[in-house]
Structure 1
C-alpha cells in the first residue's frame, strides 16, 4: 500500500487498491447531466451557516430518531443505530466540540478533538474499529439498495470497514449485507483524465455490472461522494451519509470517520449540502485529479 494511499484514506479511513470495469458496456450520460455537473463544479461557495448536533442531548436525539422512524427505514436498523450512537457518545463523553442541541456556526465544518478520541479509544483497549461514514449510511439504508455481486476476496480498500463488521459487537450484518456493502463501496477503475463525465460514465457502467440500483423513498436518500485517485486510476467513495427530507428541511446524518462523532446537520436545500460537502472533500491542489462527484442514490446530486 502506498503512503499516498494512506493519506487519501484519512478522508474516511479508506485504503485504495483494485477494481474492474466493463469496457464494452457503454452508458450514455444525458446532456442535462453534463450541464448540471458543469454548472455545479464551475462555482460553489459557502452559502450556508452550518447548523449541527451530535445528538448527545436526549430530547434532540429522540426527536431525530423519531424522524428516522417516520422516514420508512427498517425499525431494527434504527435501533441498532441508536445503540451505536449511545455507545460512542458515552465513550467520548467530555470531548471538546460535542453538541447536544443544534448549534449554528459560521465555520464551514464542525471541529472535534480527534486526539482526545484516539486516546479514549486506546485507553479503553477496544480491539476493533468503531463505525465510519460508509457503515453508518449503509446500516440504515441497506433495504433500499439492490446489489447482486458475490465476492470471494475481501477488497483491501475496505479492510477497515470489514474489520468493523466482523469484530465490532454492535455490528449486525448478514453475509448478504456484507456482499451488498462490498458491491456498493469497492473501488471503480477509471481512465486517466480529470473529465468528470468520463468518471460518471465509468461509475454507471460498473454499477450496471454489479447490478446496483436504488429503491425510491421520498423521505430519505443515500449520499455518496466519489473521489479520484489519479495515481491508481480509481474512483472510491470517500464519504457517505443519509439525507432526510423533513417537510422541506434537509437533515444530513454522517459519521465522518471511525473516531469522529455522529453528526446531523440542517440545510435549507441541496445546494447548501453540496457546498458543505465540497468544502470538505475538494482538497486536491495538484490539478491531476477530478473534483469530487456527489451522488444521490443512483444519480448526480441535483439542485436549482
Structure 2
C-alpha cells in the first residue's frame, strides 16, 4: 500500500506540474493535440446574412453602432471597386492563403477606380472598430513611426473621419514600431512590446471584443531592432461559442469575416499567412491578444510538419 500511495502521489505531482507549465489557456485540448488548420471559412461581406452576423457580434461586444456603420460603408466602397467574381457570395471554405483573385489585378482595378487614394488597411480597419477600448498617454506626439505608417497616415489625412473621433496620435502610439529585445525568444519580445506600449500609456479596456495583432520582428542593424504590428484584426465571440475574426487583408485586398472554432485555429490561420521568416536572426512572428500573448498561439504547425 505504501508503494502504491507514493506512486499515486508522484503521478499527481507530475500531472500538476505539467498543467502549470502548459498554462491555464482557453483551449479545450493542448496545442499539440489539435491538427493544423487546413481550410478556413470566411465571407467578404457581400451578402445580408454575413453582414447581419457581424453587426450582431459587434453590438454584443458593445462596439458603438456608428463604428459598425462606418465599417460597412467602407466594405461597400471596396466591394463596388472590384469584380464581384473575386469575392465570396456568402461563407466559403478555402486554404488560409487561397484567394479568388490575383492581388495585383485587384490593386490595378482599385487604383483605376479610386486614383491615388490608398484605401484602408488592417490597422485602420481594426482601430476604427476597436479604438474606443484603447487608451494612450496624453503626451504622445501627433505622429510617430512615419517610416512604417506612411501609407496609413496618407489615408488618415484624406479621411480622418475613419477614426470615429479618435486621434491620429493614439493610432500611432498603438501601431508605431517599438524597440525589440536583443533576442529571438518570443517571451522576451512580448515583454519588450509591453514595455514599449507602457511607455506610450497604451492600455486596453475590458471588452469581449479583442484586438489580435500579428507582431513582426525587424532587425536591420544593432541600432535598428524593432517590433511592428504587421497585421491586426478584431476577435468577437459568436453565440454558439465559436469565434469571428474581422479583418481587412490589405490596402487593396478585401475585408474578411472569418469563422473559427478556437484561438488555436486563429493562430494557424494567421501563422500560415505571416509566419514565413524561418531560420533568421529574428524572432518568429507571434500573436498578441490585446497586450498579452494570445492563448493558443503556436508557430506555423505546417512548417514543423514539413
TM-score bracket, shorter-length normalisation: 0.7 to 0.9
In 2, are the aligned partners of 1:46 and 1:276 still within 8 Å (CA)?
A: no
Q: How does 1:3-82 map to 2 (within 5 A)?
A: 46-82=36-72
List runs of 5+ in structure 2 lacking aligned partners. 1-18, 24-29, 298-306
Q: Give the aligned partner of residue 162 of structure 2.
A: 171
Secondary structure of residue in 1 paired with 2:167: helix
Q: How many residues align?
A: 268
Task: Please tell me whether residue 89 in structure 1 is matched to residue 79 in structure 2.
Answer: yes
Q: Give the aligned partner of residue 99 of structure 1.
A: 88
Q: C-alpha displacement at 1:125, in angstroms?
A: 4.4
Q: Do the aligned partners of residues 208 and 131 (structure 1) sit closer, same or farther apart at CA in structure 2, a change above 3 Å counting?
A: same
Out of 286, 290, 295, the residue aligned to residue 302 of structure 1 is: 295
Q: Give the aligned partner of residue 109 of structure 1.
A: 97
In 2, are the aligned partners of 1:83 and 1:170 still within 8 Å (CA)?
A: no
Q: How does 1:193-272 map to 2 (within 5 A)?
A: 193-218=183-208, 220-231=209-220, 232-247=224-239, 248-272=241-265
In 1, are the aligned partners of 2:278 and 2:284 still within 8 Å (CA)?
A: no
Query: Higher helix fraction: Structure 1 or Structure 2?
Result: 2
In 1, are the aligned partners of 2:31 and 2:296 still within 8 Å (CA)?
A: no
Distance 1:63 1:153 in 2: 35
Distance 2:174 2:268 in 1: 24
Q: Give the aligned partner of residue 159 of structure 1.
A: 150
In 2, are the aligned partners of 1:142 and 1:177 still within 8 Å (CA)?
A: no
Q: How does 1:253-292 map to 2 (within 5 A)?
A: 253-292=246-285
Distance 1:203 1:45 in 2: 30
Q: C-alpha displacement at 1:177, in angstroms?
A: 2.2
List runs of 5+ in structure 1 lacking aligned partners. 1-31
Out of 102, 105, 130, the residue aligned to residue 141 of structure 1 is: 130
Distance 1:267 1:275 in 2: 10
Q: C-alpha displacement at 1:196, in angstroms?
A: 1.7
Distance 1:41 1:197 in 2: 17
Scaled by the length of structure 2, the TM-score of the pair is 0.80
Q: C-alpha displacement at 1:208, in angstroms?
A: 1.3
Larger radius of gyration: 2
In 2, are the aligned partners of 1:243 and 1:252 still within 8 Å (CA)?
A: yes
In 1, are the aligned partners of 2:37 and 2:265 still within 8 Å (CA)?
A: yes
Root-mean-square deviation over aligned CA pairs: 2.7
Q: Give the aligned partner of residue 112 of structure 2.
A: 123
> CA offsets per residue over residues 74-130 of structure 1, 9 Å max, x none?
11111111110111011113352x11211122x233413212212212212423111
Distance 2:143 2:238 in 1: 40
In 2, are the aligned partners of 1:44 and 1:275 still within 8 Å (CA)?
A: no
Q: C-alpha displacement at 1:195, in angstroms?
A: 1.6
Secondary structure of residue in 1 paired with 2:104: helix
Distance 1:160 1:259 in 2: 12
In 2, are the aligned partners of 1:50 and 1:109 still within 8 Å (CA)?
A: no
Scaled by the length of structure 1, the TM-score of the pair is 0.80
In 1, are the aligned partners of 2:124 and 2:163 still within 8 Å (CA)?
A: no
